Structure 1
Amino acid sequence: MQYSTFGRRTGLRVSQLALGTGNFGTGWGYGSERAEAKAVFDGYVAAGGNFIDTADTYQVGQSEQLVGDFIAAERDHFVLASKYTLGGAPNGGLSRTGNSRKNMIQSVEASLKRLKTDRIDLYWAHFSDGVTPIDEIVRAFDDLVRSGKILYAGLSNFPAWRIARADLLAELRGWAPLIAIQTEYSLVERSADRELLPMAEALGLGAALWSPLGGGLLTGKYRDSKEGRLTGLGGVLVHTEKSARETAILDAVLAIAAELDAAPGEIAIAWLLARAARSSTALVPILGSRTRSQLDATLGALALSLTPEQLQRLDTASAIALGAPFEAIANSTGNITGGQGTLLRAPFLPVA
């Protein structure tokens, strides 16, 4: 596995694939027992991975507990990321959920205990609660960095305008900077191409990409069976063939998998790795494997090389309409340049 600094503003070195541990535990009634979770962890580490992503809410705290046990022997080797917002207990109520300073402080203390460590390397606000002022969040992150309880901070599932404002506030006020964002991104979910990824690339933020297999859709398994997250988690965070676009994407993935004698999931991850190679900042897919066999069926992507023609087929099948203002900008380019050529970059490239 290769490594990069996570964004252009840190020296934090992470592997090109992260391990998401939302399936570690059975608190949700669906997930991995301890032995299976350990097999997934061991397989990821053996492949060279060092970036572990968890959250207080995953499996009602069980994920953090298992991760803490698994990394204990080599704690300093791993980049450990966790999140707060939704709470580590069911029905947390107003006092134990949200983005407030109050919830952040009590959440990080609880996570440190479950993880059995004295610091979290990267701490995310998991979701925007739509209420807490962004300066409260960033200022509280700064306090935790200064105290040594977290080393870096980032925002997960926040709109681009709030992230950009938070980034500027931290810079102007001398607070600990945000270093990264986390968002859903895959062949079937490319909305981040509109605002989030261009922003991350322009500001030098790293980006962790969750659900790279579309909740299992891109493995092709739901064409033959309803097993997996589609039934195990009641369809939460799972994409389906609800339109001709999803069908065209999956058709392309399966065809290329047959051409390369590879698993469909490997093709989906290989496309993301190729996308990351074209980025000016680190884009790191998060593997959320529930079983060791699922992990092994995606790690093969590290050895795959998709041809330009295959990448183009996947790009075309998965393309989304960028909408306003990007389409208007593209249509106006000739007027802006006086017909002398194109000055504007494509929306998915970083802006200097």
Structure 2
Amino acid sequence: MTATTDTALDTARVRAWLAAAETGRVGPDLEARLIAGGRSNPTYELTDGARRWILRRPPLGHVLPTAHDMGREYRALAALAGSAVPVPRTVGLCTDTAVLGAPFYVMDKLDGVTLRTAADTGRLTPEQRKTLSANLIGVLVALHEVDPAAVGLDGWGRPDGYLERQLRRWLAQWESSRTAPRPEVDELHARLRAAVPPNRFPGIVHGDFKIDNLMVDAADPTRIVGVLDWELGTLGDTLTDLGILCSFWDQNGEFHNPITAGATALPGFPTRDELVAAYAAARGIDVAEMDWYLVFADFKIAVILEGIHARHTQGLTEGADFDTVGAMVGPLLNRALERAARSSLFR
């Protein structure tokens, strides 16, 4: 007997595959639950009543040919096992599309919680928020100091020309998924292209490093037990991760990213400038071109959200909370333009 709350996941076929991958250690009844909060790759919690796993598959609908590559995610998680970067144990990668209609992979479900909203982070004390922030920077620095070749990730990406390719990629994604004309996208792209900084710090890039892509210990929310959602990971310019983190890092007196909506705008969390300074000090580097990475981060996130909005309007998203995604695009583009206008890097 199998059960599921979502018809897109055939738990009978998944159970057969999982039993083979786990050498038979799977109970006869497998249940699947679509996890709320995911806005890109559909993510499911699986359980046989005794153990729990996480399954990730690509979204329905049109995406870039290189996007949502399950093999890339799986390779990163497997490579970082045992490193200073906490990741869940991987079970296996399924490339047989006869099972679910698309490739997917399965990993252990971590015993922890994700801090997504101001209500979640509001339950922490100011001292806990301060310690969590320091540990978050520590994990990001540890990731960026991993030698890709030493963990088998050489060839996982091409650091040379990474920023130029990123600009082309996200403009192409915009053109393929836009639901309304926005001249500010072309303006931002032109400004970013004219001011591309040199890639001075190549390494492993997570691509979406932010507080709600981390899992923390339920008993000690300052301890990070897992870095999740590696769908945008590659080898490239590591400062793009810091830009993404800052884009999602809310603080009082400034526009809040509409996804996180104030999650880090609470006492104890450092300011964005303090976050950048802590990262730079830990790596012993200068980040004089940080404005470029902040503008690029807002541009990239806006394009991603437009793609999700486009799939939602076509009925190709799964789960709740998609109705407001389209409204997030404009504010992010506007903030990026304002930052570019203030920065000497874009003049």
- Same fold by TM-score greater than 0.5: no
Q: TM-score, normalised by structure 2?
A: 0.29
Q: TM-score, normalised by structure 1?
A: 0.28
Structure with the bigger percentage of helix: 1
